[in-house]
Amino acid sequence: MGTEFSIDIYAHNQSEADRAINLAFDEVDRLEDLLSNYRPSSELSRISREASNEPVTTDPETFRFLQRAFYWSARSEGAFDITVGPLLRAWGFFFQGGRIPSGSELVSLRSKVGWQKVILDSQARTVSFSHHQSMELDPGSIGKGFAIDQVVTMLHGLGVTSAFLSAGGSTLYAIGAPPGTTGWPVNIPDPIHPGRIASRILLKDSSLSTGACTEKFFIKDGHRYCHIFDPKSLRPVEGVLQTSVIDPSATDSDALSTVVFVLDPTLSRRVIESTPGRKALVFRRPQTHQSCLNMNWPGDPCGQA
Is the residue at 92 inside a domain? no
d(CA 45, CA 59): 13
pLDDT of residue 21: 96
Is the residue at 42 inside a domain? no
d(CA 69, CA 66): 5
Do residues 44 and 140 make contact, with C-beta atoms less than 8 angstroms apart? no
pTM of the predicted model as reported, rounded to 2 decimal places: 0.94
The range of the structural domain enclosing residue 208 comes to 172-304
Strand partners, 8: 164
Q: What is the CATH number of the domain that holds 204?
A: 3.10.520.10
Please state, in angstroms and as integers, the Cα–Cα distance from residue 186 to each residue in 29, 68, 183, 192, 198, following that order.
26, 27, 9, 18, 11
Is the residue at 280 inside a domain? yes
Q: Mark the ranges of the chain whose per-residue pLDDT is less than 50.
A: none
pLDDT of residue 304: 60
Is the residue at 10 inside a domain? no
pLDDT of residue 170: 95
Residues 6+ apart with CB under 8 A from 96: none
Is the residue at 105 inside a domain? no
Tell me: the pLDDT tens digits for 59-116? 999 999 999 999 999 999 999 999 999 999 999 987 667 899 999 999 999 989 999 9
Number of domains in the chain: 1
**Burial class of residue 231 (count of CB atoms within 10 Å of its CB; 0-12, 13-18, 19+):** buried
